[in-house]
Amino acid sequence: MKKIVFATNNRHKIEEVRALLKKADKKLAEEYEILSLEDIGCTTDIPETGASFTENAFQKAEYVKVHYNLDCFADDSGLEVRALGMEPGVRSARYADSVGHSHDSEANMDKLLLNMQNVKDRQAQFRTVIVLLKDGKKEEFEGVCRGEITTERSGKDGFGYDPIFRPEGYTVSFAEMTMEEKNGISHRGKAVRKLVDYLTQNV
Ligand code: IMP
Q: Give the mutation target among 46, 79, 128, 172 for probing the ligand 1 site: most ligand atoms within 8 A of CB.
A: 79
Position 59 scores a pLDDT of 97
Q: Calculate the CA 95 to chain-centre distance.
A: 16
Split into its structural domains, the chain has a count of: 1
According to DSSP, residue 31 is labeled T
- How would residue 20 be classed by pLDDT, with cut points 50, 70 and 90? confident
Owning domain of residue 190: 2-201
Q: Give the mutation target among 37, 54, 77 for probing the ligand 1 site: most ligand atoms within 8 A of CB.
A: 77
Q: What is the pLDDT of residues 75-122, one digit of tens each?
A: 999 999 999 999 999 999 999 986 555 678 999 999 999 999 999 999
CA distance 153 to 163: 5
Q: What average pLDDT does this structure show over 114-138?
A: 97
Q: Is the pLDDT of residue 29 over 60?
A: yes
For 86, 166, 167, the CA distances from 148, given in Å and listed in that order, are 13, 5, 6
Mean pLDDT of the chain: 93
- How would residue 22 be classed by pLDDT, with cut points 50, 70 and 90? confident
Position 99 scores a pLDDT of 54
Peptide bond into 88 cis (omega under 30): yes
Q: Which residues lie with the beta carbon below 6 Å from any ligand 1 atom?
A: 76-79, 92-93, 126, 158-162, 174, 186, 188
Considering only 9-18, 67-76, 142-151, which range has the smallest mean pLDDT? 9-18
Q: Is the pLDDT of residue 21 over 80?
A: yes
Contacts within 8 Å (CB) and 24+ apart, 104-113: 105/159, 105/160, 105/161, 108/160, 108/161, 109/153, 109/161, 109/163, 109/164, 112/79, 112/81, 112/88, 112/149, 112/161, 112/164, 113/149, 113/151, 113/152, 113/164
Considering only 36-40, 56-60, 148-152, 178-182, which range has the smallest mean pLDDT? 178-182
**CATH for 99:** 3.90.950.10
Q: Is the pLDDT of residue 165 over 80?
A: yes
Q: Is the pLDDT of residue 142 over 80?
A: yes
Considering only 5-19, 100-114, 143-157, 177-191, which range has the smallest mean pLDDT? 100-114
- 125 DSSP β-pair partners: 80, 146
